[in-house]
Structure 1
């Protein structure tokens, strides 16, 4: 869910809570106790929401800082690595070329202890919204993979993202399925595809 949609939804909830509190104050017995209770409940709800925001922000900040340390290590090993973006993503270049570059591979190995997995909350926030056609294509690909030899291939959910499961990409069935189903997503017969959340 985007921050804008979440924040907009939060304003609606806070606005509704305020309207209810005003109505109860107008209809109360005059001692103000009902409105005080509503205000306390509203403040407690606001605090819980703020704590969730801080947790997500803290997780992202920690991840970005870790990515900066990893990039600095890569630079110390002679790579021209760019700074991570605001979401911690680092674009190193063409993966097919980098896999053949001994300098790159050596730097990656030496800095591997600083390389962080993307936290689940950050990964979820980075996922973009897919069109109906993209969702349909991903679902079709998941079903094809499962039917053609990779039964443990992750399902695609209603928003077009795959479930977080581990599947055996190296099995003969998975390789056969990838060859037979690749054309659905535009992957050549000799290529492979890793589900992207």
Structure 2
């Protein structure tokens, strides 16, 4: 199903971008960058207790286990930093087709697959009132053009997992979805709806 553009990773409208690096392990690339955990005044947050810091601790421990596992396989991978960032150059620069490299990845496949904690996720700037109004208009446009159960955005502009965004579309609905997306996509930029082009490729 083609979905609308979305600014937040957690939106169901667009599959989010948790970086999949280093042979498919989430967030395990060499030189990977993860944003700092910041407080409201811009200072880096201390490790205060709570569900978020527990998630971070579990994530870092999982990455530490991955590093240790690679060392046990003969690759000098250092422990992660306090945010779980790993330097995998010791193994990431090697050809995975090499038997010893393939064996190491196989031996360590149970580690390094935890999702990045929410507190480490990069968050875009909040939508302006104008952008939020454009998203609401976009939802109305979609409903008026063949997608009657297209949901309104939430208060922060995120698309809820409901209606057309929460189920698989039939073949007929997919065709209607494609047409509606072409018509309504300009609305997200504050422009009027356009005429659909059956040969166009939609950026959804």
> Shorter chain as normaliser: what TM range?
0.3 to 0.5
TM-score in terms of structure 2 length: 0.38
Relative contact order (C-alpha < 8 Å, sep 6+): which is higher?
A: 2
